[in-house]
Amino acid sequence: MTGSPSFAGARLLRARIATKLHFFISGLLFATWGVHVPTVKNQFGLSEAELALLMLAGGVGALLALTRVGGWVARHGARPVVLSGALAVAASLALFLLAPGYAALMVLLFVFGLGSGGFDVAMNAEAVAVERELARPIMSSFHGFFSLGGLAGALIGSLVARLAVAPWLHILAMSIAGFSLVWIAAREMLPESATHSPEEAQHGFSLPRGTILLIGLLAAFGLVSEGAMYDWSTLYMADTLGSPADIAALGYAAFSGAMALGRFGGDWLRGRLGATRTLKASAWLTSIAMIATLLIGERWAGIAGFALVGFGLSNVIPVLFSAAARVPGVSPARGIAGVSGVGYLGFMAGPPLIGAIAEVSSLTHGLLVVAGFAALVALLTQRAMRDCAEQ
């Protein structure tokens, strides 16, 4: 990315608020899907394996977007990619429960993933630009707003379930409101010059290598764990622990709330411990908390344990994205896209893996994957982060 001009304080503040709102809406829409995973499963009569294939379709869409989105942002700037990605997410989400059958639902999940991948990288590129202008670490706080949006989406989902609001109406309303807010906030993003990079736009997609690949592998392990909680936590609470819909949504809410709390304090923690030690401690907490939650197997333990898992995972992706943006010789947008591309392999591999284990054994055993991959993050952190300057 080319060096951007320094922006006036008020202009930078508006861009910072807009970016936070984008992260919030992304989390809100993702949570709206997450709390309705049991609804989709029941309405279409799906097995765990069939549900896992739907999630795989979303991962494939996201991965396809991520092979192109670094170039899109470099060529056009972050704003148009944010808008087009958010529109794809909202439009496909609104139609989930109106799909005529399984094949149509799979297409919608593919589009949902495609939009999510574009939205994700573009808003992270904008966040890196804002962070660079402020000259201090704030990436974790941006990701905190994603988790705060997830908390809001889960709590709204719990409320509408208690009020017996039709699920399709809830999803439609959230989709319309979410995209409307993204469109309004996009007008306050930094100028195109902040994320536009003509020289980067000349390069096509290339497979990540070296440090970017190593960081991307850690992101993949982290996103297996994070994605499992988004996609499977409500189903675990509902089917395995027998929780009613409003209580089942609270497991997701506890996870997202703790994640938000951890991310809002993550920049301070990273400043005190450094990126490497923060990442190690976070990953070990995730692994231990997940094992304890599944061993206890009670509703209260699900809610409390998912909160600890959320707190543990809270700074994994922000630290890795920030590291990707500081790799020498690689632009922030391309670094983030490379790490995201490898990371989303975790989203692709995680759901079918957990679904396959659940199909032949149980979802409890499937979710042990979260603990295993979190432990891998802890064990491989030192090697992957050694070429990145601490921030």
The 10s digit of each residue's pLDDT in 221-234 is 998 888 788 778 88
For residue 1, the model assigns a pLDDT of 41
For residue 162, pLDDT beyond 50: yes
In one-letter notation, the amino acid at residue 126 is E
For residue 325, pLDDT beyond 50: yes
Distance CA 261, CA 200 (A): 36
Please answer whether residues 373 and 224 qualify as being in contact, where contact means their C-beta atoms are separated by less than 8 angstroms.
yes
For residue 290, the tally of other CB atoms under 10 A from its CB is 28
Distance CA 309, CA 301 (A): 12
Please answer whether residues 164 and 339 qualify as being in contact, where contact means their C-beta atoms are separated by less than 8 angstroms.
no
For residue 5, the model assigns a pLDDT of 46
Three-state DSSP state, 242: coil
Mean pLDDT on 244-270: 86
For residue 323, pLDDT beyond 60: yes
Distance CA 90, CA 309 (A): 28
Q: Residues 85-141: pLDDT tens digits?
A: 999 999 999 999 999 999 999 999 999 989 988 898 889 888 888 887 887 777 778
Identify the CA nearest to 111 among candidates 148, 85, 83, 74.
Answer: 85
More confident residue, 157 or 131: 157
More confident residue, 203 or 50: 50
Query: What percentage of the chain carries pLDDT values higher than 90?
Result: 37
Distance CA 108, CA 102 (A): 10
Distance CA 59, CA 130 (A): 28
Please answer whether residues 73 and 333 qualify as being in contact, where contact means their C-beta atoms are separated by less than 8 angstroms.
yes
More confident residue, 218 or 11: 218
Mean pLDDT on 178-185: 96
For residue 34, the model assigns a pLDDT of 84
Distance CA 98, CA 31 (A): 18
Distance CA 245, CA 257 (A): 18
Q: Which two tokens stand for residue 332?
A: 């922030």
Banded model confidence at residue 321, pLDDT cuts 50, 70, 90: confident
In one-letter notation, the amino acid at residue 208 is P
Q: Residues 343-379: pLDDT tens digits?
A: 877 766 776 788 788 888 899 999 999 999 999 999 9
Give the CATH fold of the 9-385 domain: Growth Hormone; Chain: A; (1.20.1250)
Query: What percentage of the chain carries pLDDT values higher than 70?
Result: 90
Distance CA 255, CA 388 (A): 29
Three-state DSSP state, 331: coil
Give the C-alpha distances (Å, rounded to integers) separating 34 from 40, 69, 85: 10, 25, 19
DSSP string for 239-294: IIS---HHHHHHHHHHHHHHHHHHHHTHHHHHHHH-HHHHHHHHHHHHHHHHHHHH
Length, in residues, of the chain? 391
For residue 26, pLDDT beyond 70: yes
Banded model confidence at residue 389, pLDDT cuts 50, 70, 90: low
Q: Residues 268-288: pLDDT tens digits?
A: 888 788 888 899 999 999 999
Least trusted range by pLDDT, from 100-114, 200-214, 244-258, 309-323: 200-214
Q: What angle do CA 388, 371, 345 make, to 5 degrees?
A: 60
